[in-house]
Amino acid sequence: YYNSNTVLYLNGDFVKSETAQIDLYGQSLHYGFAAFEGIRAYNTHNGTRIFKAKKHYNRLKQSCDLVSIPFPWDIDDLIKQTYKLLEMNNMKDAYIRPLVYSDSNMSLIAPEKANIMICAWDWAAYFGDKQLKCCISSYQRPNPKSTHMEAKISGHYVNSILATTEAKKRGFDEAILLDMNENIAEAPGANIFVEKGGKLFTPPLGHILPGITRATVIQLCKKLDLECVEKELTVADLKAADSAFFCGTAAEIVGLKSVDDTVFPLKWTESIGATIQRTYKCLVLEKQNYEVII
Task: Return d(Cα 7, Cα 14) in angstroms, integer.
Answer: 6
Strands (E), 122-241: 132-140, 174-178, 184-186, 191-196, 199-202, 228-230
CB nearer to ligand PMP: give 38 or 273.
38
Is there a contact between 57 and 47 (Cβ–Cβ < 8 Å)?
no
Q: Helices 272-284 and 212-223 meet at what angle, rounded to 10? A: 110
Using CB under 6 A, pick the residue from 26, 248, 255, 273 that binds ligand PMP.
248
Site for ligand PMP in 265-294 (CB under 6 A): none
Using CB under 6 A, pick the residue from 6, 137, 243, 249 that binds ligand PMP.
249
| Residue 198-237 contact track with ligand PMP, rule CB under 6 A, x = bound | -----------x-xxxx-----------------------
Is there a contact between 8 and 117 (Cβ–Cβ < 8 Å)?
yes
Q: Is 150 exposed, middle or buried (0-12, 13-18, 19+ CB in 10 A)?
A: middle
CB nearer to ligand PMP: give 7 or 251.
251
Task: Return d(Cα 39, Cα 23) in angstroms, integer.
Answer: 25
Using CB under 6 A, pick the residue from 9, 34, 38, 172 that binds ligand PMP.
38
The catalytic residue among 84, 113, 145, 152 is: 152
Task: Return d(Cα 111, Cα 106) in angstroms, integer.
Answer: 9
Q: Does 191 bind ligand PMP (CB under 6 A)?
A: yes
Minimal distance, residue 16 CB to ligand PMP, in Å: 27
Q: Does 190 bind ligand PMP (CB under 6 A)?
A: yes
Per-residue HEC secondary structure of 73-85 comes to CCHHHHHHHHHHH
CB nearer to ligand PMP: give 266 or 278.
278
Minimal distance, residue 116 CB to ligand PMP, in Å: 18
Minimal distance, residue 236 CB to ligand PMP, in Å: 22
- Between CA 128 and CA 135, with CA 134 as vertex, the angle to 5 degrees is 155
> In the chain, what is the greatest distance between 2 CA atoms, to the nearest angstrom?
55
Task: Return d(Cα 191, Cα 212) in angstroms, integer.
Answer: 10
CB nearer to ligand PMP: give 116 or 151.
151
Count of residues in contact with ligand PMP, rule CB under 6 A = 12
Minimal distance, residue 192 CB to ligand PMP, in Å: 9
CB nearer to ligand PMP: give 212 or 254.
212
- Please enumerate in sequence order all residues whose Cβ is within 8 A of that of 183, keeping only pairs 6 or more positions apart, or say none: 203, 207, 232, 233, 234
Q: Does 98 bind ligand PMP (CB under 6 A)?
A: no
Task: Return d(Cα 43, Cα 94) in angstroms, integer.
Answer: 9
| Residue 158-187 contact track with ligand PMP, rule CB under 6 A, x = bound | ----------------------------x-
Catalytic-residue membership of 152: yes
Among 256, 262, 258, 194, which residue's Cα sits nearest to residue 231?
Answer: 194
CB nearer to ligand PMP: give 131 or 249.
249
Q: Does 111 bind ligand PMP (CB under 6 A)?
A: no
Which stretches of the chain bind ligand PMP, using CB under 6 A?
38, 186, 189-191, 209, 211-214, 248-249
- Give the active site residues: 152
